[in-house]
Amino acid sequence: MERAEWRRLPPCPRARDEHSARMTGPRYTPLVQTLPATVPFVGPEVQEREMGHTFRARLGANESVFGPSPDAVEAMARESTQIWKYADATNFDLKAALAQKLGTTQKNLIIGEGIDGLLGYLVRLLVAPGDRVVTSDGAYPTFNYHVTGFGGGLVKVPYRSDHEDLPALIAKAVEVDAKMVYLANPDNPMGSWNTGAEIEAALDTMPEGVLLILDEAYIEFAPAEAVPQIAPDDPRVIRLRTFSKGYGMAGARVGYGIGAVDLIRSFDKIRNHFGMNRAAQVGALAALQDQDWLQSVLTWVAESKARIAEIAVANGLTPLPSATNFVTVDCGRDGDFARTVLHELVERGVFVRMPFVPPHDRCIRISAGTPADLDVLAEVLPQALAAANADAAS
Task: Specify whether 259 is located in the same domain as 301.
Answer: no
CA nearest 347: which of 308, 315, 386, 310?
A: 386
pLDDT in tens, 117-161: 999 999 999 999 999 999 999 999 999 999 999 999 999 999 999
Are residues 103 and 154 located together in one domain of the fold? yes
pLDDT tens for 33-91 read 998 887 777 889 999 999 899 999 999 999 999 999 999 999 999 999 999 999 999 99
Q: What is the pLDDT of residue 5?
A: 42
What would the pLDDT profile of 384-394 be if each residue is shown by its tens digit? Answer: 999 999 999 98
- The model's confidence at residue 13, banded by pLDDT at 50, 70 and 90, is low
Please give the Cα distance from 326 to 88 (Å, whole number): 34
Interatomic CA distance for residues 102 and 319, integer angstroms? 33
238 Cβ partners below 8 Å, 6+ apart? Answer: 122, 211, 212, 213, 214, 257, 258, 259, 260, 263
Residue 23: the pLDDT is 61
Instruction: Let me know whether 243 and 302 are in one domain.
Output: no
| Residue 111 C-beta-side C-alpha neighbours within 13 Å | 29
Looking at 245, 268, 289, the residue that finishes a domain is 289
CATH of the domain at 379: 3.90.1150.10
Note the pLDDT of residue 11: 53
Domain residue limits at 370: 44-64+292-393
pLDDT tens-digit series, residues 288-331: 999 999 999 999 999 999 999 999 999 999 999 999 999 999 99
- Is the residue at 269 inside a domain? yes
Judgement on whether residues 325 and 225 belong to the same structural domain of the protein: no
**Domain end: 245, 271, 289, which one?**
289
Residues 263 and 344 occupy one common structural domain: no
Q: Work out how many domains the chain is built from and give that number.
A: 2
**184-230 confidence digits (pLDDT tens):** 999 999 999 999 999 999 999 999 999 999 999 999 999 999 999 99
Same domain, 230 and 377: no
Q: How many CB atoms lie within 10 A of CB 346?
A: 19
Residue 174 to residue 178: CA distance in whole angstroms:
7
Same domain flag for 278 and 298: no
Each residue's pLDDT tens digit, 273-291:
999 999 999 999 999 999 9
- pLDDT for residue 43: 87
Question: So what's the pLDDT on residue 195?
Answer: 98
Determine, yes or no, domain membership for 280: yes
Q: Determine, yes or no, domain membership for 10.
A: no
Query: Do residues 115 and 242 both lie within one domain?
Result: yes
Domain finish residue from 289, 318, 333: 289
pLDDT band at 2 (very low <50, low <70, confident <90, very high): very low
Evaluate if pTM is beyond 0.85: yes
Beta bridge partners of 213: 182, 238
Q: Is the pLDDT of residue 6 over 50?
A: no
Q: What is the pLDDT of residues 332-350, one digit of tens each?
A: 999 999 999 999 999 999 9
